[in-house]
């Protein structure tokens, strides 16, 4: 069995934009030495070689700052008229399933991924979607992960392509770009230029009417075959949250 990590490291990166910055305080063993002494254990009773325990505190990390999975609550307070699910309500049986990679590395920046693109790739490579699969969209833009312009580059899913995947029985999907849609600054600009209220965040907002969950900021999709593997994506159980960091892995027999 081979396990391939599809998650980016969680660490401070000075090149990340302010809304993605992670800050972690690492406490060395010697700090706890004095705490243990205050709690009442004399130094002479410390086990041989024991200097205290290391500890760490996450001082700042948004739930969307690293490899994560979004809940329907992120897209809208309601889905098809009912309250949208938060990340702690994701059905765990949807978090482990057969995976499939759809290669869209040829798509230019700001050129949305369409139903035609998805169907063409599947037909060309003799691949078939099965209900319950976890679909991974490979754009190759993870090479910009950790750079200041990561969120400004790449292709993204159209609303129609997102809805088509859901209609095939796919409820969990993911991408190696910063976001599921086209880059956020581009969408802002084009929505204003076109005066089109239907343009901004169109793929995310499919979740207003059809429930689905998507991962963002995946890495290492180049290490996977197009099919023949399992995907595990178990988010932290943060009650009421719109998303959660996840250690996403692919498992190949």
Q: What digits encode the pLDDT tens for the residues 169-225?
A: 999 999 999 999 999 999 999 999 999 999 999 999 999 999 999 999 999 999 999
Write the pLDDT tens digit of every residue in 70-100: 999 999 999 999 999 999 999 999 999 999 9
CB-side exposure of 25: number of CA atoms within 13 Å? 5
SS3 187: helix
Name the average pLDDT for the chain: 96
Which domains are delineated in the chain?
23-60 (no CATH), 68-252 (3.50.30.50)
Contacts of 138 (CB under 8 A, 6+ apart): 101, 102, 103, 104, 105, 176, 221, 222
How many angstroms separate the Cα of 33 from the Cα of each of 40, 52, 53, 165, 176?
Answer: 11, 5, 8, 54, 43
| pLDDT in the model for residue 130 | 98
Which tokens in the block code for residue 195?
Answer: 């005066």
CB 31 within 8 A of CB 52: yes
Confidence check: pLDDT of 160 > 90: yes
Distance CA 102, CA 137 (A): 5
Distance CA 236, CA 253 (A): 26
> Among 152, 65, 147, 158, which residue's Cα sits nearest to residue 111?
158
Which tokens in the block code for residue 18?
Answer: 């302010």
Quickly state the pLDDT bin for 227 (edges 50, 70, 90). very high
Distance CA 224, CA 250 (A): 8
Question: Can you list the alpha helix ranges (DSSP code H) found in the chain?
Answer: 29-38, 72-75, 115-124, 159-167, 184-194
Radius of gyration over every alpha carbon of the chain, rounded to an integer in angstroms:
21
Distance CA 90, CA 72 (A): 9
Which tokens in the block code for residue 174?
Answer: 């993911």
What's the CA angle centered on 122, arms 160 and 133, to 5 degrees?
Answer: 75
Quickly state the pLDDT bin for 236 (edges 50, 70, 90). very high
Mean pLDDT within 137-155:
97
* Chain Cα centroid distance, residue 239: 18
Q: Which residue's structure tokens are 């907002």?
A: 205
């Amino acid at each position: 069995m081979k396990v391939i990590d599809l998650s980016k490291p969680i660490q401070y990166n000075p090149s990340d934009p302010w809304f993605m910055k992670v800050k972690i305080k690492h406490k060395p063993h010697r700090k706890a030495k004095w705490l243990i002494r205050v709690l009442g254990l004399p130094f002479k009773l410390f086990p041989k070689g024991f200097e205290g325990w290391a500890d760490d505190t996450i001082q700042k990390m948004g739930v969307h700052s690293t490899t994560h999975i979004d809940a329907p609550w992120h897209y809208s307070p309601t889905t098809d008229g009912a309250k949208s699910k938060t990340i702690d309500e994701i059905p765990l049986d949807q978090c482990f399933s057969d995976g499939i990679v759809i290669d869209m590395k040829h798509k230019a920046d700001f050129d949305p991924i369409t139903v035609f693109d998805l169907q063409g790739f599947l037909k060309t490579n003799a691949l078939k979607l099965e209900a319950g699969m976890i679909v991974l969209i490979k754009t190759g833009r993870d090479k910009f992960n950790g750079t200041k312009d990561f969120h400004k580059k790449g292709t993204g899913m159209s609303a129609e392509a997102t809805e088509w995947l859901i209609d095939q029985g796919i409820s969990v999907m993911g991408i190696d770009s910063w976001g599921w849609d086209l880059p956020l600054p581009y969408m802002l600009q084009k929505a204003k230029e076109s005066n089109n209220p239907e343009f901004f965040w169109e793929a995310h907002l499919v979740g207003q009417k059809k429930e689905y969950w998507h991962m963002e900021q995946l890495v290492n999709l180049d290490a996977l075959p197009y099919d023949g593997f399992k995907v595990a994506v178990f988010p932290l159980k943060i009650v009421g949250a719109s998303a959660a960091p996840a250690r996403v892995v692919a498992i190949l027999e």
